[in-house]
Amino acid sequence: MEIALIGINHRTASIELRERLAFRVEQACEAADQLRARGILKEVVVLSTCNRTEVYGVTRDRTADNLCAMEMFLGSYHQIAPAEFKDSLYRHADREVVRHLYRVAAGLDSMLLGESEVLGQVREAYRVAMDHGCTGRVLNRLFQSSLEVGKRIRTETQIATRPMSVAFAGVKQAEGLLRCLESQRVMIVGAGATSEQVVKHLCDRGVPQLRILNRTLENAKAVVARYGGEVLAWERLPEVLDWPDLIVSSVSTSDPILTRQMVEAAMVARRNRPLVIMDLGVPRNIAVDVKEIPHVHLSNVDSLTEVIEENKKAREEEIPRALALIEDQMDAFMRWQVGVAACRAFSELRSVPEHHREALLRKHLAAMSDLTEPERLHFTGLLEKFLKGTRKEQVEYFPSDIEMQQES
């Protein structure tokens, strides 16, 4: 068997092309069914996110035509001529598929280095494929190990612990200033993409009291419908400044929406209870001199960007450790795959006369030319053990895969 992959991502393709080649959940299942029905793949997992579309599969034989067939199918399914995406497509087989998926799950292949959302996306794509009956022994093992790699890298390195987006950096900074966000009242001014990211991060931290104001009331209601909270009319902004402990603002405006006079009046009503304001707008939403008011902490995008750059460097320093973990896990997976191949070969070898076995063994080894020397030695060592051992010894040595002898 051969593990194969074709795909595009944010590095190789424009967003317009990624949109055209994306799969909805029901399409991913449908495409997997068709790939299997046509005999192109035995097992299939489709991973489709805003930043990538990838088709992972297990082929029935080792041939360069497999990747070509997958490519032609991708074009025909989406009704796009292969010439339109051929230069954006990457193609991997066996070891390189394993390495690529492990890097994806670890967040090393993401637009945002080390981001954790992709691990959930890999898990969900695998779950959908498995529930639909599209996976088997090989992709089950591959995707389960990729999830383990992602968890290990996030646990054993610092690659995902430092904020790498303005929204996340703002929330993390507020968390440090206010100690525990779970007991704070938060007001979000704006309902665009950045504001929604902030709301998501706040909800992840269990913020119980959340209010959202936006010029377009329907947009604020849409955010509240997804995450919860209370919508306030835009006109009420000056009168409700005494309520929050944290204000996060991200709106498009040419003039400040909060002036020093407005905030000073609010601080009197608050009896100088500390107020943290995160200005994520460009141009800035909050008058610069607000930071001069006692008991008010004001941050803007520039100050957070400096933090993000420092964090980016710190994350990049963790890449060698992450790659070492990936290589370690890859070795374990490849040894397992060699064991699967040895088990299949054993099924054939034991059925032929002993004087024919050497030729058949050479045939199997030739078909696995990509094996490293240690893997070839592992393969032949397993076969020797199987051929000389009893059934009991074989099952004890390779319990989960000995039954593969009866598979087609």
CA pair distance 23, 46, nearest whole angstrom: 8
Nearest 10 degrees: Cα torsion 111, 113, 116, 119: 70
Residues constituting the chain:
408
Residue that has been written with the tokens 């696995």 in this structure:
368
Burial, 385: exposed, middle or buried (Cβ in 10 Å; 0-12, 13-18, 19+)? Answer: middle
Model confidence pLDDT, tens digit, residues 292-330: 999 999 999 888 877 778 888 889 999 999 999 999 998
Task: Give CA separation, 252 vs 212, 237, 260, in Å.
Answer: 15, 16, 19
Model confidence pLDDT, tens digit, residues 149-183: 999 999 999 898 776 788 888 898 898 899 889 88
The DSSP line for 40-73 is: S-SEEEEEE-SSEEEEEEEESS--THHHHHHHHH
- Pairing type for strands 43-48 and 52-59 reads antiparallel
Longest dimension (CA), the chain: 96
So what CATH class is 166-302?
Answer: alpha beta
205 CB-side CA count, 13 A: 24
378 CB-side CA count, 13 A: 18
Mean pLDDT of 255-259: 95
Assess whether pLDDT exceeds 60 at residue 231.
yes
Assess whether pLDDT exceeds 90 at residue 394.
no
Burial, 149: exposed, middle or buried (Cβ in 10 Å; 0-12, 13-18, 19+)? Answer: buried
Tokens of 203: 């909800």
Mean pLDDT of 323-345: 80
Amino acid (1-letter code) at residue 150: G
Q: Say whether 343 is catalytic.
A: no
Give the rounded percent of residues in the chain with a pLDDT score beyond 70: 82
Amino acid (1-letter code) at residue 277: I
Is it true that 2-159 and 166-302 share their CATH fold?
no
Fold of 2-159: Beta Polymerase; domain 2 (3.30.460)
Domain spans in the chain, listed from the N-terminal domain onward: 2-159, 166-302, 329-406
Model confidence pLDDT, tens digit, residues 1-32: 589 999 999 999 998 999 899 999 999 999 99
The closest alpha carbon to 233, from 256, 252, 216, belongs to: 216
How confident is the model at residue 302, as a pLDDT?
84
Active-site residue identified among 50, 134, 203, 343: 50
The closest alpha carbon to 74, from 28, 130, 121, belongs to: 28
Greatest mean pLDDT among 227-241, 295-309, 392-406:
227-241
For the beta carbon of residue 345, count every other beta carbon within 10 angstroms. Answer: 25
**Residue 94 near residue 64, CB atoms below 8 Å:** no
Q: Is residue 405 classed as helix, strand or coil in its secondary structure?
A: helix
Burial, 123: exposed, middle or buried (Cβ in 10 Å; 0-12, 13-18, 19+)? Answer: middle
